[in-house]
Amino acid sequence: MSETEVTSQLRKQIDSSKLPRHIAIIMDGNGRWAKQRGRPRIEGHRAGTNSVRAVVEAAAELGISALTLYALSTENWRRRPVLEIKALMMLLVEYLKRELRELNENNIRLKTIGRMEALPPEVQEQLHLTIDQTRNNTGLILNLALNYGGQHEILDAVKKVLYAIQKQKFSVDALTPEIFTTYLSTADLPELDLMIRTSGEMRISNFLLWQIAYAELYITPVLWPDFRKQHLYEAILEYQHRSRRFGKIS
């Protein structure tokens, strides 16, 4: 059976009434993919943009509400070689320019989370342009996590909550998890249902730490540049076969 036939068969098995509303992906393995082929690391990142296109297209076709992609962590920003970060920023700008028409044709809205102000001006400019030109789209929300860290997000939310309490918007005793969630950068997104990590690593890497409380985790050994629609379908099918109890007895 060809790859296309496998993908088609998997797609037919998905129950459209039990789709995860919000999927997040830790896109890992670009460097290893390049090393296995004797290529520079940036070639792994470049190949990974093909996976982004495939997954975004698949999520939009299925009717997923939101897709959050971990594109660059705060740790990556501080600890990766300067030349690699510059190349990643160039790839991001290229991707946004190239995909803008596709985003609009597929009714996809771009959103970002993370500390955008630290990104290069030309990257911020292209992000703002793409966000503005897709803001009226009503389909899939493509949420890029850039210069993002889960611990920083929670700390930033705590600061906002403290300020709100000082302004007497509510009391300390009135604070609930539901209220706290409204101060996170994902407040306007559906609750996270499924988190996928590629490359087989068994860690969360400071990603959406609050949001994963009851999310289903799916780890695949597939390196990100090799990840395609069929792999997303496999993750969703696994999700649909799990019993989500949220602390209750099944």
Q: What is the pLDDT of residue 76?
A: 80
Catalytic residue among 28, 106, 147, 193: 28
pLDDT digits (tens, 9 = 90+) for 179-214: 999 999 999 999 999 999 999 999 999 999 999 999
Catalytic residue among 15, 30, 50, 76: 76
Tokens matching residue 26: 């830790």
Residue 154 CB neighbours (<10 A): 15
- For the whole model, what pTM was predicted? 0.95
Q: Tell me, what's the pLDDT at 23?
A: 98
Helix (H, G, I), strand (E, B) or coil at 207: coil
Across the chain, mean pLDDT equals: 95
β-bridge partners, 22 = 66
pLDDT digit string (tens) for 118-177? 999 999 999 999 999 999 999 999 999 999 999 999 999 999 999 999 999 999 999 999
Active site residue 76: yes
How far apart CA 187 and CA 191 sit, in angstroms, is 9
Quick: pLDDT tens for 62-114: 999 999 999 989 888 777 888 889 999 999 999 999 999 999 999 999 999 99
Q: How many CB atoms lie within 10 A of CB 144?
A: 24
Walk me through the domains of the chain, giving residue ranges and CATH numbers: 20-149+191-240 (3.40.1180.10)
